[in-house]
Structure 1
Amino acid sequence: MGKSGIYVGLDIGTTSIKVIVAEYLKGQLNIIGVGSERSDGLSRGVVIDIDHAVQAIDRAVAQAEEKASLKIKDVQVSLPANLLEIEPCSGMIAIRKNGGTKEIDEQDVMRVTKAALTQQLPPERQIVDIIPDEFTVDGFDGIKDPRGMVGVRLEMKGVVYTGPKTILHNTLRCVERAGLHVTDIVVAPLALSRLALTDGEQDFGSVLIDLGGGQATAAVVHDHKLKYTYVDQEGGQFVTKDISVVLNTSLENAEKVKRNYGYAAGFLAPKDETFNVEVVGQAETAEFTSEYLAEIIEARLTQVFERLKTVLDDISALQLPGGVIITGGQAALPGVKELAEEVFETNVRLFVPTQMGLRHPSFTQVIGLIEYSAHQSEIARVVKKAVFPEIELSSAQLENNDYTSLSATDSEPDKTAVPKKEKVEHKGTFDGVKKFFSTFFD
């Protein structure tokens, strides 16, 4: 059961930035605010222009604040799996006091965590997460939380995730420049698996594919652990560009056509359906069939799936009983499941969130981020605190709902907060809703 309180998930994607404010109460997740804005300053999951990215975050946060009627201060942030490396780690410390035994406390857990992180990393890489598997006290293993126990020797085994330093630094810098405080950092596939996979799929093994706007990420989960990730640097943006080039129309028109008439599998497209598109350099629109459009989309997605299949076959991941689960913005295209079954030659399931108003696969990541943070154990937080002491979020802060209503913050601004850039004014409810749905396929 998740800890009661207010949670804010921030998903900084290549093509869209999403913010969700949720309240956990008696094990029930209630969405009370949503913000969605087109990204700016990102490419293939990586921030390349901090100023532009901060402005997009500001706009998305403003939307969520307006709908939730509260001022957002703290956020949970996801990190992309670009160049992610997964390695086991272990460490051991003595916990004697004056020659005898003592109760194991939080400081001991943090010390044994640091002892497990003694490997030398290249200067361009950094630890982005660590998850404990088990603790051992004086030879007694299988312990999940050793705090309060008595012993003289403490050991920890876990999994450490490392990634490019620039991704973590730029992401945290953007959040800081937006006047927000990061309370948790979660590797994206970990958050996705929490929401999209069933307990059996996580236990027996499955492949989770996130079809995003900027890239496609495959993650292998087995025994409730993230075992492997691979990122293909082509996503929905490449499908849109293909449509733009072939139909000789703008990217904006290509995106609308994909959203309104697109099919991922050509045999599913209505053979008699046609649509008109504005063509560059021509005064009159041109007519195309949905079947022709589907051929363009299918060609690009087939290439992405085939590359993923080659990598997954090399590690025998497609033989896992759970098969393939697909989510992400591009998974909303009709026929994605059928095309994936044809390429991967295994059972495929499409995951769509069930939360009211957010029943679209583009929201899987940010909802999963909240679910992951809310269900994270206390001992996992203590272990992570040894790596990121500056992002600690105490249980009391969660339970006390340390957020302020907009009316209160407007009358008494927080002078100690990091200065935020001036936020863009809303242009009315209709424009806001229209803009919100325009980012669904991002």
Structure 2
Amino acid sequence: MAEYLKGQLNVLGFGNERSDGLSRGVIVDIDKASEAIKRAVKAAEEKASIQIHDVIVGISANMLKIEPVSGLVAIGDQAREITDQDVRDVAAAAIIQNLPPEREIINLVPDEFIVDGFDGIKDPRSMVGVRLEMNGMLFTGPKTIVHNTKKAVEQAGLNPQLAVVSPIAQGLSVLSDGEQDFGTVLLDLGGGQSTAAVIHDHRLKYAEVDPEGGDYITKDISVVLNTSIENAEKLKRNYGYADSSRASEDDQFPVDVVGQSRPTEISEKYLAEIIEARLLQIFGKLKTQLSATNALSLPGGIVLTGGVAALLGITDLVKAEFDTAVRVTIPDQMGLRHPSFTQALSLVNYRGQMSEVALLVQSALTGNQQLVRQAQAQQTTSQSVAPTTTETPSTPASTDTRAKQPKKRGQGIRKFFSDFFD
């Protein structure tokens, strides 16, 4: 639970529970998942002394499909000012298409608006025109995953006000402006699955999901050492190394073995070899997919997040396997300084930074009138600030609301690289 004021994200409370009802990062038991959500929400409510009603929901990138879309609406026979409703209408026009019955729209992200042929506009409202166009990116996922996720949230007594593809939110929150611009691979090593997302030109261009994550490492430790899942998880967290070359053969620790009355001594290096074997298997499959898209040649390298990214030596192992620059991102919020909290913080940060136009576009997608009211409230707040004030609006205003001349040839080296990576 967080608030976003004057460009600053302030965490009010948080709840952390084991993700019951999930398998390989996907909900397979709605009832169990719902109960886990309830427990986490209750813990956050108790810490913040605030009751939670509306939530931001992260949707995994499993079988994610990304495609460009465009919409066109007539403002009228004569030129008039473009309104909020016009923005919603052109967004609705962009998503009129025949989706397969097994897929569902998750996000529509606007790239630009075009007013009477003038392109590159971020916010067309209050401009005068007779024709409004919008170009954007549409993100769709399997209906089963989207439905089960929202259903579990609703069953927990919450309103899923906004859904977002998780790598979109994470890319905005953990990558620098340069990393988002020139291209970076965001590698989320979660418990249920591992996700490699390519962020370039400030957009999510590609996502690959491997259905193996930290839970598989825990199971490997449990099977090899013949110990319980609970003990295996503790061993991974307390003694685990991702890179076996950094672990010691001399440092040993006791392990409770099933069927034996006394613990067995296991070396730090032996445990590391078990962990490393599973990680190399995950990395090998993701590397094949990323290499096919030339993503590993992007200048931003790889940024690691997710609970598995907390393992000692993970940076060296990834750097050796992918042969590129690697860094781990860790939240700087007090009490949440662990890679496993990155996704939750990214979701609230994404909502906090959403512009009024983005809220209107998303409301057209979901029919959520609450988002429309929030966009209007943000507009009223920003307009009430005097021009000479030094305060920052709670949501950043769009960077350019002026119409530009139609594009011409020779846009320069930036467009060349953009087209090249596309």
The normalised TM-score by structure 2 is 0.87
CA distance in 2, matches of 1:146, 1:397: 18
Name 1:382's counterpart in structure 2.
Answer: 360
Are residues 1:363 and 2:346 paired? no
CA distance in 1, matches of 2:239, 2:369: 44
Q: Is the 8 A contact 1:213 1:329 kept in 2?
A: yes
Q: Give the gaps of 5 or more residues in structure 2.
A: 381-422
Deviations 1:4-46 (A, max 9, x none): xxxxxxxxxxxxxxxxx11223222221101001111111222
CA distance in 1, matches of 2:158, 2:377: 15
Alignment of 1:48-127 (within 5 A): 48-96=28-76, 99-127=77-105
Q: Is the 8 A contact 2:356 2:378 kept in 1?
A: no
Q: Is the 8 A contact 1:183 1:391 kept in 2?
A: no
Q: 1:62 to 1:83 in 2, by over 3 A?
A: same
Name 1:29's counterpart in structure 2.
Answer: 9
Are residues 1:346 and 2:324 paired? yes
Name 2:223's counterpart in structure 1.
Answer: 245
Residue 285 of structure 1 deviates from its aligned partner by: 1.1
Alignment of 1:32-431 (within 5 A): 32-96=12-76, 99-390=77-368, 392-393=370-371, 394-395=373-374
* 4+ aligned runs moved over 4 Å, structure 1: 396-400
Deviations 1:205-234 (A, max 9, x none): 000000000000000000100000000010
Residue 397 of structure 1 deviates from its aligned partner by: 7.1
Q: 1:294 to 1:398 in 2, by over 3 A?
A: farther
CA distance in 2, matches of 1:46, 1:289: 34
Residue 52 of structure 1 deviates from its aligned partner by: 1.1
Q: Is the 8 A contact 2:25 2:191 kept in 1?
A: no
Q: Is the 8 A contact 1:318 1:346 kept in 2?
A: yes
CA distance in 2, matches of 1:37, 1:112: 41
Residue 390 of structure 1 deviates from its aligned partner by: 2.9
User: What amino acid does structure 1 have at the position aligned with 2:367?
Assistant: P
User: What amino acid does structure 2 have at the position aligned with 1:102?
Assistant: R
Local SS of the residue matching 1:107: helix
Local SS of the residue matching 1:35: coil
Deviations 1:228-281 (A, max 9, x none): 000001000110111011101111111111111100000111231101111111
Kindly report the root-mean-square deviation, in angstroms, between the aligned alpha carbons of the 2 structures. 1.5
The structure richer in strand per residue is: 1
CA distance in 1, matches of 2:264, 2:157: 47
CA distance in 1, matches of 2:203, 2:329: 19
Residue 112 of structure 1 deviates from its aligned partner by: 1.2
CA distance in 2, matches of 1:300, 1:391: 46
CA distance in 2, matches of 1:306, 1:169: 31
CA distance in 2, matches of 1:182, 1:253: 35
Local SS of the residue matching 2:260: coil
Local SS of the residue matching 2:368: helix
Q: Is the 8 A contact 1:220 1:317 kept in 2?
A: yes
Deviations 1:290-331 (A, max 9, x none): 000000000100111111111000000000000000110000
CA distance in 2, matches of 1:94, 1:28: 39
Local SS of the residue matching 1:214: coil
Name 2:411's counterpart in structure 1.
Answer: none
User: What amino acid does structure 2 have at the position aligned with 1:196?
Assistant: V
Q: 1:399 to 1:69 in 2, by over 3 A?
A: farther
Residue 392 of structure 1 deviates from its aligned partner by: 3.3
CA distance in 1, matches of 2:377, 2:37: 23
Deviations 1:76-98 (A, max 9, x none): 111111110100001111111xx
Q: Which moved more, 1:370-379 or 1:387-396?
A: 387-396
CA distance in 1, matches of 2:3, 2:87: 30
Local SS of the residue matching 1:34: coil
Local SS of the residue matching 1:258: helix
Q: Is the 8 A contact 2:25 2:211 kept in 1?
A: no
Deviations 1:347-369 (A, max 9, x none): 11111111111110000000011
User: What amino acid does structure 2 have at the position aligned with 1:357?
Assistant: G
Q: Is the 8 A contact 2:102 2:142 kept in 1?
A: yes
Q: 1:374 to 1:222 in 2, by over 3 A?
A: same
The normalised TM-score by structure 1 is 0.83
Q: How many residues align?
A: 378
Residue 398 of structure 1 deviates from its aligned partner by: 8.0
User: What amino acid does structure 1 have at the position aligned with 2:202?
Assistant: H
Tell me the percent identity: 59
CA distance in 1, matches of 2:92, 2:340: 36
CA distance in 1, matches of 2:379, 2:153: 23
Q: 1:121 to 1:272 in 2, by over 3 A?
A: same
